[in-house]
Amino acid sequence: MTNISVFQAAAPLDPALGIKGASFSIQAGALLGMIRVQGRAVAQELTTVVQQHTGLALPEPGTVSRSDMHRLHWLTPQEWLLVTAEGAEHAIAADLAAAWQGQALYATVISDSRAVIEVSGPDAPTLLAQGCALDFHATQFAVLHSTVTRFAGVAAMVTRIEGDCFELVVDRALARYVWDWLAESVKGL
């Protein structure tokens, strides 16, 4: 008989971390469940199973599908990121994998390898634009738009959650570097 130990990783950034200014706020984001979903989008099985287990349709390129419990981010033509409540990701990934048995469709839990940083306020678009070549004006990067880019020199997924509230998802090993970069960059606002 095999013993399996499951443990919860500590947050990559202290949840109490926060930087506030008159026109911006930077917070360590909550721990979230994250599942990388991979497969051919044209595969009806992929679309059907994702919708059955999350209630979400596959999003259009550069966008996010959202419900009360889940978000599904488009990453590439054959890859999406399913974001859910912390702790729910293992059961969802197991359900997806069971439904796709024998097919070239995959659900991989990646929660412990990612960190979330929330940047909000009227100056959030200006601050984020210092870190990459994206145009964060609301007409160009609207609510529920999401993309993977280089931010402050590292791979990051940037999403406009609502209004002037953005979410950066980065490799947990680089979270402190990105945090420090943001903390230094706000001095120019």
Question: Residue 134: which CATH number?
Answer: 3.30.1360.120
Give the strand pairing for 146-151 and 25-28: unpaired
Domain enclosing residue 136, as ranges: 18-188
Does the reported pTM lie above 0.75? yes
Residue 1: per-residue pLDDT: 41
Q: Give the span between the Cα atoms of 6 and 93, in whole angstroms.
A: 15
CA distances from 105 to 7, 109, 133, 141 (A): 26, 14, 33, 30
State which residues of the chain have pLDDT below 50: 1-8
73 CB contacts (<8 Å, ≥6 apart)? 59, 64, 80, 81, 82, 83, 146, 157, 159
Q: Is there a domain that residue 166 lies in? A: yes
Q: Give the span between the Cα atoms of 140 and 118, in whole angstroms.
A: 20
* % of the chain with per-residue pLDDT over 90: 70
Q: Is there a domain that residue 9 lies in? A: no
Q: Is there a domain that residue 13 lies in? A: no
Residue 179: per-residue pLDDT: 93
Q: Indicate the length of the chain as a whole number.
A: 189
Mark residue 152 as left, alpha or beta (left: phi above 0; alpha: psi -120 to 50; beta: remaining). left
Q: Is there a domain that residue 175 lies in? A: yes
Q: Is there a domain that residue 7 lies in? A: no
Q: For the chain, what is the domain count?
A: 1
CA distances from 125 to 10, 137, 172 (A): 29, 7, 23
Q: Is there a domain that residue 52 lies in? A: yes
Q: Is there a domain that residue 32 lies in? A: yes
Q: Is there a domain that residue 10 lies in? A: no
